[in-house]
Amino acid sequence: MGAKPFATEADLCAAFIAQLPPLWTAYAETAGWDILLAAGDGTQIGVQAKLRLNAKVLDQAVGEGWECWREDGPDFRAVLVPEHGHESLCRALGLVLIHARGDGRSFEPNLRFDHGYRSWHFWNPTRRHKLPAFVPDVVAGASGPVQLTRWKVAALRIFARLEIRGEVTRADFKELGIDIRRWIAPQGWLRPGAVPGQFVATPRLSVAAQHPEVWPQVLADERKNAAAAAPRGDLLTAAAA
What's the domain range around 35? 9-119
Count of domains observed in the chain: 2
- What's the confidence (pLDDT) of residue 205? 60
Tell whether 157 and 221 lie within a shared domain.
Answer: yes
Instruction: Please tell me the pTM assigned to this model.
Output: 0.79
Among 96, 119, 142, the domain boundary falls at 119
Averaged over 47-69, what is the pLDDT?
84
Tell whether 47 and 111 lie within a shared domain.
Answer: yes
Q: What is the pLDDT of residues 198-232, one digit of tens each?
A: 999 987 766 777 888 899 999 999 999 999 887 75
Tell whether 90 and 160 lie within a shared domain.
Answer: no
Tell whether 161 and 114 lie within a shared domain.
Answer: no
Tell whether 113 and 159 lie within a shared domain.
Answer: no
Tell whether 42 and 108 lie within a shared domain.
Answer: yes
Residue 23 in domain: yes
Among 119, 137, 160, the domain boundary falls at 119
At 170, the pLDDT band (50, 70, 90 cuts) reads: very high
- In three-state form (DSSP H/G/I as H, E/B as E, the rest C), the secondary structure along the chain is CCCCCCCCHHHHHHHHHHCCCCCEEEEEEECCEEEEEEECCCCEEEEEECCCCCHHHHHHHHCCCCCHHHCCCCCEEEEEECCCCCHHHHHHCCEEEEEECCCCCCEECCCCCCCHHHHCCCCCCCCCCCCCCCCCCCCCCCCCCCCCCHHHHHHHHHHHHHHHHCCEEHHHHHHHCCCCHHHHCCCCCEEECCCCCEEEECCCCCHHHHCCCHHHHHHHHHHHHHHHHCCHHHHHHHHHC
- What's the confidence (pLDDT) of residue 1? 44
Answer whether residue 95 shows pLDDT above 90: yes
Among 119, 141, 173, the domain boundary falls at 119
Residue 143 in domain: no
Residue 2 in domain: no
Residue 131 in domain: no
